[in-house]
Structure 1
Amino acid sequence: MSAGSRYPVARPRAYAFDAAYETVPNWDIGRPQRAFVYLEEAGLIRGRVLDVGCGTGELSLFLARHGHEVLGIDIAPRAIEQAREKARWRRIPAQFLVWDALDLAGLARGGLSFRTVVDSAMFHLLGDAERDRFVDELASVLDPGGAYLVLGDVRTDPRATYGLSPEELERRFRPEAGWGVAFVRRTVFERRYSRNPAYVACVVRHPTSRP
Protein backbone atom coordinates (compact mmCIF):
# COMPACT_ATOMS: atom_id res chain seq x y z
CA MET A 1 0.00 0.00 0.00
CA SER A 2 1.16 3.52 -0.64
CA ALA A 3 1.92 5.85 2.24
CA GLY A 4 -1.20 7.61 3.39
CA SER A 5 -3.54 5.45 1.29
CA ARG A 6 -6.02 2.75 2.29
CA TYR A 7 -5.93 1.19 -1.16
CA PRO A 8 -3.42 -0.94 -3.08
CA VAL A 9 -2.01 1.39 -5.74
CA ALA A 10 -2.28 -1.12 -8.58
CA ARG A 11 -5.96 -1.88 -7.99
CA PRO A 12 -8.25 1.17 -8.10
CA ARG A 13 -11.08 -1.40 -8.22
CA ALA A 14 -10.53 -1.60 -4.45
CA TYR A 15 -12.54 1.62 -4.10
CA ALA A 16 -15.61 -0.03 -5.59
CA PHE A 17 -15.32 -3.16 -3.48
CA ASP A 18 -14.68 -1.16 -0.32
CA ALA A 19 -17.86 0.83 -1.00
CA ALA A 20 -19.81 -2.41 -1.44
CA TYR A 21 -18.91 -3.45 2.10
CA GLU A 22 -20.55 -0.35 3.58
CA THR A 23 -23.66 -2.54 3.50
CA VAL A 24 -23.85 -6.32 2.97
CA PRO A 25 -23.04 -7.19 -0.65
CA ASN A 26 -25.09 -9.80 -2.44
CA TRP A 27 -22.20 -12.28 -2.54
CA ASP A 28 -21.64 -12.17 1.24
CA ILE A 29 -23.97 -14.94 2.41
CA GLY A 30 -22.72 -15.20 6.01
CA ARG A 31 -21.16 -18.64 5.55
CA PRO A 32 -18.77 -20.38 3.16
CA GLN A 33 -20.00 -21.53 -0.23
CA ARG A 34 -21.22 -25.14 -0.04
CA ALA A 35 -18.75 -26.19 -2.72
CA PHE A 36 -15.89 -25.45 -0.32
CA VAL A 37 -17.61 -27.22 2.56
CA TYR A 38 -17.73 -30.33 0.37
CA LEU A 39 -14.06 -29.91 -0.62
CA GLU A 40 -13.08 -29.70 3.05
CA GLU A 41 -15.17 -32.77 3.90
CA ALA A 42 -13.49 -34.65 1.04
CA GLY A 43 -10.05 -33.87 2.47
CA LEU A 44 -8.96 -31.80 -0.53
CA ILE A 45 -8.01 -28.73 1.53
CA ARG A 46 -4.69 -29.46 3.18
CA GLY A 47 -1.96 -27.73 5.13
CA ARG A 48 -1.47 -23.99 5.28
CA VAL A 49 -4.18 -22.16 3.30
CA LEU A 50 -4.26 -18.85 1.44
CA ASP A 51 -7.75 -17.47 0.77
CA VAL A 52 -7.51 -14.98 -2.12
CA GLY A 53 -10.29 -12.39 -2.32
CA CYS A 54 -11.48 -13.48 1.13
CA GLY A 55 -14.07 -10.72 1.60
CA THR A 56 -15.35 -10.65 5.19
CA GLY A 57 -13.68 -13.97 5.89
CA GLU A 58 -16.38 -16.63 6.15
CA LEU A 59 -14.40 -19.25 4.18
CA SER A 60 -11.16 -18.45 6.02
CA LEU A 61 -12.91 -18.70 9.38
CA PHE A 62 -14.57 -22.00 8.43
CA LEU A 63 -11.23 -23.52 7.43
CA ALA A 64 -9.41 -22.20 10.50
CA ARG A 65 -12.13 -23.69 12.68
CA HIS A 66 -11.36 -27.02 11.01
CA GLY A 67 -7.73 -26.87 12.00
CA HIS A 68 -6.03 -25.13 9.09
CA GLU A 69 -3.56 -22.28 9.40
CA VAL A 70 -5.23 -19.67 7.20
CA LEU A 71 -4.31 -16.28 5.76
CA GLY A 72 -7.11 -14.38 4.04
CA ILE A 73 -6.26 -11.49 1.70
CA ASP A 74 -8.45 -8.90 0.00
CA ILE A 75 -7.94 -5.53 -1.68
CA ALA A 76 -10.89 -4.00 0.22
CA PRO A 77 -9.75 -2.66 3.61
CA ARG A 78 -13.31 -2.52 4.94
CA ALA A 79 -13.79 -6.24 4.19
CA ILE A 80 -10.58 -7.10 6.04
CA GLU A 81 -11.66 -4.98 9.02
CA GLN A 82 -14.91 -6.96 9.19
CA ALA A 83 -13.08 -10.28 8.82
CA ARG A 84 -10.73 -9.45 11.69
CA GLU A 85 -13.68 -8.42 13.83
CA LYS A 86 -15.43 -11.73 13.14
CA ALA A 87 -12.27 -13.66 14.00
CA ARG A 88 -11.90 -11.76 17.27
CA TRP A 89 -15.48 -12.25 18.38
CA ARG A 90 -15.60 -15.91 17.33
CA ARG A 91 -12.14 -16.56 18.82
CA ILE A 92 -10.92 -18.20 15.62
CA PRO A 93 -7.19 -17.83 14.84
CA ALA A 94 -7.44 -16.91 11.14
CA GLN A 95 -5.20 -14.08 9.93
CA PHE A 96 -6.26 -11.35 7.50
CA LEU A 97 -4.28 -8.87 5.44
CA VAL A 98 -5.11 -6.08 2.99
CA TRP A 99 -3.20 -7.37 -0.01
CA ASP A 100 -3.45 -7.52 -3.79
CA ALA A 101 -3.83 -11.05 -5.14
CA LEU A 102 -1.92 -9.89 -8.20
CA ASP A 103 1.16 -9.50 -5.98
CA LEU A 104 1.42 -12.95 -4.42
CA ALA A 105 5.15 -12.85 -5.10
CA GLY A 106 5.27 -10.20 -2.38
CA LEU A 107 4.02 -12.79 0.11
CA ALA A 108 6.63 -15.23 -1.17
CA ARG A 109 9.36 -12.64 -0.63
CA GLY A 110 8.15 -12.46 2.96
CA GLY A 111 8.79 -16.19 3.33
CA LEU A 112 5.20 -17.39 2.95
CA SER A 113 4.08 -20.43 0.97
CA PHE A 114 0.90 -22.48 1.02
CA ARG A 115 -0.21 -26.05 0.45
CA THR A 116 -3.68 -24.91 -0.66
CA VAL A 117 -4.97 -21.70 -2.24
CA VAL A 118 -8.75 -21.23 -2.21
CA ASP A 119 -10.58 -18.76 -4.43
CA SER A 120 -14.27 -18.18 -3.85
CA ALA A 121 -15.26 -16.06 -6.87
CA MET A 122 -12.23 -13.84 -7.30
CA PHE A 123 -10.64 -15.23 -10.49
CA HIS A 124 -13.95 -15.05 -12.38
CA LEU A 125 -13.91 -11.22 -11.98
CA LEU A 126 -10.42 -10.64 -13.36
CA GLY A 127 -9.68 -9.28 -16.80
CA ASP A 128 -7.75 -11.27 -19.37
CA ALA A 129 -4.30 -9.83 -18.63
CA GLU A 130 -4.98 -9.96 -14.89
CA ARG A 131 -5.69 -13.69 -15.17
CA ASP A 132 -2.35 -14.31 -16.87
CA ARG A 133 -0.60 -12.35 -14.15
CA PHE A 134 -2.47 -14.16 -11.38
CA VAL A 135 -1.42 -17.57 -12.70
CA ASP A 136 2.21 -16.43 -12.69
CA GLU A 137 1.89 -15.00 -9.19
CA LEU A 138 0.15 -18.13 -7.92
CA ALA A 139 3.17 -20.23 -8.85
CA SER A 140 5.30 -18.18 -6.46
CA VAL A 141 3.35 -19.10 -3.31
CA LEU A 142 1.78 -22.51 -4.01
CA ASP A 143 3.93 -25.41 -2.83
CA PRO A 144 4.87 -28.04 -5.41
CA GLY A 145 2.17 -30.69 -5.14
CA GLY A 146 -0.24 -28.13 -3.73
CA ALA A 147 -3.74 -27.33 -4.99
CA TYR A 148 -5.55 -24.21 -6.21
CA LEU A 149 -9.29 -24.63 -5.63
CA VAL A 150 -11.43 -22.10 -7.47
CA LEU A 151 -15.16 -21.42 -7.64
CA GLY A 152 -16.74 -19.06 -10.15
CA ASP A 153 -19.81 -18.42 -12.25
CA VAL A 154 -20.17 -20.31 -15.52
CA ARG A 155 -19.25 -18.10 -18.47
CA THR A 156 -22.47 -17.70 -20.42
CA ASP A 157 -21.15 -15.39 -23.14
CA PRO A 158 -18.12 -16.83 -24.99
CA ARG A 159 -17.17 -13.29 -26.07
CA ALA A 160 -16.94 -12.09 -22.46
CA THR A 161 -14.13 -12.47 -19.95
CA TYR A 162 -16.36 -12.71 -16.88
CA GLY A 163 -16.89 -16.21 -15.52
CA LEU A 164 -15.11 -19.53 -15.87
CA SER A 165 -14.96 -22.27 -18.47
CA PRO A 166 -13.16 -25.63 -18.39
CA GLU A 167 -11.46 -24.79 -21.67
CA GLU A 168 -9.98 -21.60 -20.25
CA LEU A 169 -8.67 -23.34 -17.14
CA GLU A 170 -6.95 -25.96 -19.30
CA ARG A 171 -5.46 -23.23 -21.46
CA ARG A 172 -4.17 -21.05 -18.64
CA PHE A 173 -2.92 -23.86 -16.38
CA ARG A 174 -0.80 -25.74 -18.90
CA PRO A 175 1.16 -28.92 -18.11
CA GLU A 176 4.27 -27.50 -19.75
CA ALA A 177 4.12 -24.62 -17.25
CA GLY A 178 3.97 -27.04 -14.34
CA TRP A 179 0.20 -27.25 -13.80
CA GLY A 180 -2.46 -29.92 -14.08
CA VAL A 181 -6.24 -29.49 -13.95
CA ALA A 182 -7.37 -32.35 -11.72
CA PHE A 183 -11.11 -31.75 -12.16
CA VAL A 184 -13.77 -29.22 -13.11
CA ARG A 185 -17.30 -29.83 -11.79
CA ARG A 186 -20.62 -28.05 -12.24
CA THR A 187 -22.06 -26.59 -9.06
CA VAL A 188 -23.74 -23.34 -7.96
CA PHE A 189 -22.51 -20.02 -6.62
CA GLU A 190 -24.90 -18.83 -3.92
CA ARG A 191 -25.79 -15.20 -3.37
CA ARG A 192 -28.06 -13.64 -0.78
CA TYR A 193 -31.00 -13.42 -3.18
CA SER A 194 -30.11 -15.84 -5.97
CA ARG A 195 -27.84 -18.65 -7.11
CA ASN A 196 -25.97 -19.02 -10.37
CA PRO A 197 -24.59 -22.03 -12.26
CA ALA A 198 -20.90 -22.26 -11.44
CA TYR A 199 -17.78 -24.36 -11.80
CA VAL A 200 -15.54 -25.57 -9.02
CA ALA A 201 -12.11 -26.72 -10.12
CA CYS A 202 -8.95 -28.19 -8.64
CA VAL A 203 -5.65 -27.21 -10.25
CA VAL A 204 -2.49 -28.94 -9.02
CA ARG A 205 1.06 -27.59 -9.06
CA HIS A 206 3.26 -30.47 -10.23
CA PRO A 207 5.64 -31.68 -7.49
CA THR A 208 8.69 -31.06 -9.70
CA SER A 209 7.65 -27.46 -10.44
CA ARG A 210 9.59 -24.42 -9.30
CA PRO A 211 8.29 -20.81 -9.36
Structure 2
Amino acid sequence: MGMTAPTTPPDVPSQETFEAVYNGKPMFEGAPAAGVPWDIRDAQPRIKELAAYGALRGEILDIGCGLGENSIYLTQQGLSVTGLDFSPSAIEQAKQRAAAAGVTVDLQVADATKLDGWDGRFDTVIDSAVYHCFDHEGHQQYASALHRATRPGARWFIACFGDGTVNGIAMPFGVQDPEEIKTVLSDANWNIQYFGRTTYLGSRAAFVGAALAGIDPERMPADMRERSQRPGVAEQAQKTFERLQQLDDDLIHMPFFSIVAERGQMS
Protein backbone atom coordinates (compact mmCIF):
# COMPACT_ATOMS: atom_id res chain seq x y z
CA MET A 1 0.00 0.00 0.00
CA GLY A 2 2.98 2.26 0.49
CA MET A 3 4.05 4.87 -1.99
CA THR A 4 7.15 7.01 -2.16
CA ALA A 5 7.17 10.59 -1.00
CA PRO A 6 5.68 13.33 -3.15
CA THR A 7 7.88 15.88 -4.88
CA THR A 8 8.82 18.38 -2.19
CA PRO A 9 9.01 22.15 -2.62
CA PRO A 10 12.23 23.90 -1.51
CA ASP A 11 10.90 24.75 1.98
CA VAL A 12 10.09 21.15 2.93
CA PRO A 13 12.67 18.56 4.09
CA SER A 14 13.19 16.07 1.29
CA GLN A 15 12.99 12.31 1.49
CA GLU A 16 16.72 12.23 0.75
CA THR A 17 17.38 14.35 3.84
CA PHE A 18 15.48 11.94 6.07
CA GLU A 19 17.11 8.92 4.46
CA ALA A 20 20.54 10.38 5.17
CA VAL A 21 19.67 11.05 8.80
CA TYR A 22 18.23 7.57 9.36
CA ASN A 23 21.35 6.01 7.85
CA GLY A 24 23.73 7.92 10.10
CA LYS A 25 25.00 10.13 7.29
CA PRO A 26 25.33 13.92 7.17
CA MET A 27 22.21 15.74 6.00
CA PHE A 28 24.39 17.16 3.25
CA GLU A 29 28.06 17.20 2.30
CA GLY A 30 30.05 19.07 4.92
CA ALA A 31 27.45 18.81 7.67
CA PRO A 32 28.14 16.73 10.79
CA ALA A 33 26.74 13.21 11.00
CA ALA A 34 24.54 14.15 13.91
CA GLY A 35 22.41 11.05 14.37
CA VAL A 36 18.62 11.09 14.56
CA PRO A 37 17.61 14.09 16.73
CA TRP A 38 14.17 12.65 17.59
CA ASP A 39 15.43 9.16 18.46
CA ILE A 40 15.17 8.75 22.24
CA ARG A 41 14.86 4.93 22.04
CA ASP A 42 11.55 5.09 23.86
CA ALA A 43 8.04 6.34 23.26
CA GLN A 44 7.44 10.03 23.75
CA PRO A 45 6.11 10.83 27.26
CA ARG A 46 3.06 12.50 25.70
CA ILE A 47 2.15 9.24 23.93
CA LYS A 48 2.53 7.24 27.14
CA GLU A 49 0.30 9.74 28.92
CA LEU A 50 -2.41 9.54 26.26
CA ALA A 51 -2.32 5.75 26.47
CA ALA A 52 -2.58 5.84 30.26
CA TYR A 53 -5.64 8.09 30.03
CA GLY A 54 -7.32 5.68 27.63
CA ALA A 55 -7.43 8.40 24.96
CA LEU A 56 -6.08 6.15 22.20
CA ARG A 57 -8.84 3.81 21.07
CA GLY A 58 -9.70 1.43 18.27
CA GLU A 59 -7.39 1.12 15.31
CA ILE A 60 -4.49 3.52 15.82
CA LEU A 61 -2.41 5.12 13.07
CA ASP A 62 1.09 6.23 14.07
CA ILE A 63 1.68 8.54 11.12
CA GLY A 64 5.32 9.37 10.45
CA CYS A 65 6.27 6.60 12.86
CA GLY A 66 10.00 6.95 12.22
CA LEU A 67 11.95 4.31 14.12
CA GLY A 68 8.76 2.92 15.59
CA GLU A 69 9.19 3.55 19.31
CA ASN A 70 5.65 4.91 19.80
CA SER A 71 4.15 2.04 17.78
CA ILE A 72 6.15 -0.55 19.70
CA TYR A 73 5.18 0.89 23.08
CA LEU A 74 1.48 1.07 22.26
CA THR A 75 1.52 -2.49 20.92
CA GLN A 76 3.10 -3.61 24.19
CA GLN A 77 0.13 -1.98 25.96
CA GLY A 78 -2.23 -4.22 24.01
CA LEU A 79 -3.36 -1.61 21.49
CA SER A 80 -3.77 -2.18 17.74
CA VAL A 81 -1.31 0.05 15.89
CA THR A 82 -0.22 0.62 12.31
CA GLY A 83 2.95 2.65 11.76
CA LEU A 84 3.49 4.46 8.44
CA ASP A 85 6.46 6.54 7.31
CA PHE A 86 7.74 7.76 3.95
CA SER A 87 11.32 6.72 4.75
CA PRO A 88 12.10 3.12 3.74
CA SER A 89 15.17 3.17 5.98
CA ALA A 90 13.10 4.25 8.98
CA ILE A 91 10.57 1.47 8.40
CA GLU A 92 13.31 -1.14 7.99
CA GLN A 93 14.92 -0.11 11.26
CA ALA A 94 11.54 0.12 13.01
CA LYS A 95 10.83 -3.48 12.04
CA GLN A 96 14.18 -4.51 13.51
CA ARG A 97 13.39 -2.72 16.76
CA ALA A 98 9.95 -4.30 16.94
CA ALA A 99 11.47 -7.75 16.47
CA ALA A 100 14.05 -7.04 19.17
CA ALA A 101 11.22 -5.97 21.49
CA GLY A 102 9.34 -9.19 20.75
CA VAL A 103 6.25 -7.54 19.29
CA THR A 104 4.56 -7.67 15.90
CA VAL A 105 3.64 -4.27 14.48
CA ASP A 106 2.26 -3.46 11.03
CA LEU A 107 4.93 -1.06 9.73
CA GLN A 108 4.79 0.13 6.13
CA VAL A 109 6.11 2.82 3.80
CA ALA A 110 3.41 5.33 2.81
CA ASP A 111 2.89 8.90 1.66
CA ALA A 112 1.09 10.81 4.43
CA THR A 113 -0.32 13.34 1.96
CA LYS A 114 -2.13 10.61 0.01
CA LEU A 115 -2.60 7.46 2.12
CA ASP A 116 -3.82 5.54 -0.91
CA GLY A 117 -5.46 2.25 0.06
CA TRP A 118 -6.07 3.19 3.70
CA ASP A 119 -9.58 4.65 3.44
CA GLY A 120 -11.75 4.35 6.55
CA ARG A 121 -9.24 2.31 8.53
CA PHE A 122 -8.47 4.23 11.71
CA ASP A 123 -10.16 5.52 14.87
CA THR A 124 -7.15 7.40 16.26
CA VAL A 125 -4.18 9.17 14.69
CA ILE A 126 -1.02 10.11 16.58
CA ASP A 127 1.17 12.70 14.88
CA SER A 128 4.44 13.00 16.78
CA ALA A 129 6.39 15.76 14.99
CA VAL A 130 4.99 15.25 11.49
CA TYR A 131 2.73 18.23 10.79
CA HIS A 132 5.61 20.72 10.68
CA CYS A 133 7.35 18.71 7.95
CA PHE A 134 4.96 20.08 5.31
CA ASP A 135 4.29 23.45 3.73
CA HIS A 136 0.77 24.91 3.56
CA GLU A 137 -0.27 22.89 0.53
CA GLY A 138 1.16 19.78 2.14
CA HIS A 139 -0.81 20.52 5.31
CA GLN A 140 -4.01 20.66 3.28
CA GLN A 141 -3.26 17.39 1.51
CA TYR A 142 -2.22 15.74 4.76
CA ALA A 143 -5.34 16.77 6.69
CA SER A 144 -7.59 15.61 3.83
CA ALA A 145 -5.75 12.30 3.51
CA LEU A 146 -6.17 11.62 7.22
CA HIS A 147 -9.87 12.46 6.99
CA ARG A 148 -10.24 9.82 4.26
CA ALA A 149 -8.21 7.28 6.23
CA THR A 150 -10.25 7.63 9.42
CA ARG A 151 -13.71 6.65 10.59
CA PRO A 152 -16.49 8.87 11.96
CA GLY A 153 -15.59 10.23 15.39
CA ALA A 154 -11.87 9.60 14.97
CA ARG A 155 -9.45 11.80 16.88
CA TRP A 156 -6.13 13.22 15.66
CA PHE A 157 -3.46 14.05 18.25
CA ILE A 158 -0.85 16.47 16.87
CA ALA A 159 2.49 17.55 18.35
CA CYS A 160 4.42 20.05 16.20
CA PHE A 161 7.04 22.79 16.47
CA GLY A 162 5.78 25.57 18.72
CA ASP A 163 6.92 29.01 19.78
CA GLY A 164 8.56 30.07 23.02
CA THR A 165 11.46 28.40 24.78
CA VAL A 166 12.04 25.51 27.16
CA ASN A 167 15.13 25.82 29.35
CA GLY A 168 16.49 28.36 26.88
CA ILE A 169 15.88 26.16 23.84
CA ALA A 170 13.76 27.44 20.95
CA MET A 171 13.00 26.00 17.54
CA PRO A 172 15.16 28.03 15.09
CA PHE A 173 12.76 27.46 12.19
CA GLY A 174 9.64 25.51 11.33
CA VAL A 175 7.52 27.07 14.09
CA GLN A 176 3.91 26.61 13.05
CA ASP A 177 1.29 29.34 12.81
CA PRO A 178 -1.65 28.51 15.10
CA GLU A 179 -4.11 30.30 12.82
CA GLU A 180 -2.88 28.34 9.81
CA ILE A 181 -3.33 25.07 11.70
CA LYS A 182 -6.86 26.01 12.73
CA THR A 183 -7.81 26.99 9.17
CA VAL A 184 -6.31 23.87 7.59
CA LEU A 185 -8.01 21.52 10.02
CA SER A 186 -11.36 23.29 9.76
CA ASP A 187 -11.27 23.26 5.96
CA ALA A 188 -10.60 19.50 6.03
CA ASN A 189 -13.52 18.91 8.44
CA TRP A 190 -11.47 18.39 11.59
CA ASN A 191 -12.94 20.04 14.69
CA ILE A 192 -10.30 21.25 17.15
CA GLN A 193 -11.08 20.24 20.72
CA TYR A 194 -7.86 21.44 22.31
CA PHE A 195 -4.99 23.73 21.29
CA GLY A 196 -2.18 24.25 23.79
CA ARG A 197 1.48 23.71 24.47
CA THR A 198 3.55 20.69 25.36
CA THR A 199 7.18 19.58 25.13
CA TYR A 200 8.87 16.97 22.99
CA LEU A 201 11.94 14.96 23.95
CA GLY A 202 14.95 14.82 21.66
CA SER A 203 18.56 13.73 21.72
CA ARG A 204 20.77 16.59 22.90
CA ALA A 205 23.89 15.29 21.17
CA ALA A 206 22.08 14.84 17.86
CA PHE A 207 20.48 18.27 18.05
CA VAL A 208 23.88 19.89 18.68
CA GLY A 209 24.94 18.57 15.28
CA ALA A 210 21.60 19.34 13.65
CA ALA A 211 21.62 22.98 14.78
CA LEU A 212 23.89 23.73 11.78
CA ALA A 213 25.30 26.79 13.51
CA GLY A 214 28.23 28.33 11.69
CA ILE A 215 27.79 26.35 8.47
CA ASP A 216 27.88 28.29 5.21
CA PRO A 217 24.30 28.34 3.84
CA GLU A 218 25.66 27.91 0.31
CA ARG A 219 26.74 24.40 1.28
CA MET A 220 23.20 23.50 2.34
CA PRO A 221 20.60 21.90 0.07
CA ALA A 222 17.75 24.12 -1.07
CA ASP A 223 15.32 22.75 1.52
CA MET A 224 17.55 24.07 4.34
CA ARG A 225 19.23 27.08 2.73
CA GLU A 226 16.03 29.09 2.33
CA ARG A 227 15.04 28.55 5.96
CA SER A 228 18.51 29.36 7.28
CA GLN A 229 18.50 32.74 5.52
CA ARG A 230 15.22 33.97 6.97
CA PRO A 231 15.47 36.94 9.36
CA GLY A 232 16.55 35.88 12.84
CA VAL A 233 17.00 32.20 12.04
CA ALA A 234 20.80 32.15 12.05
CA GLU A 235 20.91 34.08 15.32
CA GLN A 236 18.40 31.76 16.99
CA ALA A 237 20.23 28.69 15.68
CA GLN A 238 23.46 29.98 17.21
CA LYS A 239 21.76 30.67 20.56
CA THR A 240 20.22 27.20 20.59
CA PHE A 241 23.56 25.64 19.63
CA GLU A 242 25.31 27.42 22.51
CA ARG A 243 22.58 26.49 24.97
CA LEU A 244 22.67 22.83 23.97
CA GLN A 245 26.39 22.72 24.64
CA GLN A 246 25.80 23.99 28.17
CA LEU A 247 23.42 21.17 29.07
CA ASP A 248 24.50 17.84 30.53
CA ASP A 249 21.33 15.78 30.09
CA ASP A 250 21.20 13.25 27.28
CA LEU A 251 17.65 14.31 26.44
CA ILE A 252 16.24 17.79 25.97
CA HIS A 253 12.72 19.21 26.02
CA MET A 254 11.63 21.31 23.04
CA PRO A 255 8.65 23.68 22.76
CA PHE A 256 5.77 22.13 20.83
CA PHE A 257 2.13 22.84 20.16
CA SER A 258 -0.36 20.17 21.19
CA ILE A 259 -3.61 19.86 19.25
CA VAL A 260 -6.50 17.43 19.56
CA ALA A 261 -9.02 17.36 16.70
CA GLU A 262 -12.11 15.24 16.08
CA ARG A 263 -13.11 14.10 12.63
CA GLY A 264 -16.18 15.88 11.35
CA GLN A 265 -18.55 14.75 8.63
CA MET A 266 -18.03 15.87 5.06
CA SER A 267 -20.56 18.54 4.09
TM-score in terms of structure 1 length: 0.85
Aligned to 1:170: 182
Match of 1:68 among 79, 82, 99: 79
Aligned to 1:118: 126
* Deviation larger for 130-139 or 99-108: 99-108
Task: Note closer, same or farther for the CA distance 1:173–1:161 as it changes in structure 2 (3 Å cut).
Answer: farther
Task: Note closer, same or farther for the CA distance 1:59–1:43 as it changes in structure 2 (3 Å cut).
Answer: same
> 1:15-164 alignment to 2 at 5 Å?
15-23=16-24, 24-108=35-119, 113-155=121-163, 162-164=174-176
* Paired AA for residue 84 in structure 2: I
* Cα offset, 1:155, TM superposition: 4.2
Q: Secondary structure at the match of 2:94?
A: helix
Say whether the 8 Å CA contact 1:132–1:172 is kept in structure 2.
Answer: yes
TM-score in terms of structure 2 length: 0.68
Match of 2:262 among 188, 191, 204: 204
Cα deviation per residue 1:188-207 (whole Å; 9 max; x = unaligned)?
Answer: 1111113211111111013x
Cα deviation per residue 1:155-176 (whole Å; 9 max; x = unaligned)?
Answer: 46xxx982334333321121x7
Say whether the 8 Å CA contact 1:119–1:149 is kept in structure 2.
Answer: yes
After superposing on structure 2, the runs of 4+ consecutive aligned residues of structure 1 that deviate more than 6 Å are none
Task: Note closer, same or farther for the CA distance 1:184–1:125 as it changes in structure 2 (3 Å cut).
Answer: same
* Paired AA for residue 96 in structure 1: L
Gaps of 5+ in 2: 9-13, 25-34, 165-171, 205-251
Computed over aligned residues only, the root mean square deviation of the Cα atoms, in angstroms, reads 2.3
* Cα offset, 1:124, TM superposition: 1.2
Q: Secondary structure at the match of 2:115?
A: helix
Say whether the 8 Å CA contact 1:116–1:142 is kept in structure 2.
Answer: yes
Question: How many angstroms apart in 1 are the aligned matches of 2:5 and 2:37?
Answer: 26
